Amino acid sequence: MTKIAVAAKRAGPGRPTNVERGLPPRPTAAQRRANSDAEKIARGEQRINTWIAADAAAALAAITGSDQSRGAIREAIGLALIAYAQTLPTKRKKNG
- Residues 19-67: tens digit of each pLDDT: 667 777 788 999 999 999 999 989 888 777 678 888 888 887 888 777 7
Question: Taking a C-beta distance cutoff of 8 angstroms, is the pair 69, 76 a contact?
Answer: no
Domain assignment present for 42: yes
Domain assignment present for 19: no
Range of the domain at 31: 26-87
**Residue 96 confidence (pLDDT) above 60:** no
Domain assignment present for 78: yes
Domain assignment present for 73: yes
Number of domains in the chain: 1
Total-model pTM: 0.41
Question: Taking a C-beta distance cutoff of 8 angstroms, is the pair 45, 53 a contact?
Answer: yes
Neighbour-count burial for 42-78, b at 16+ CB within 10 Å, e otherwise: eeebbeeeeebeeeebeebeeebeeeeeeeebeebee
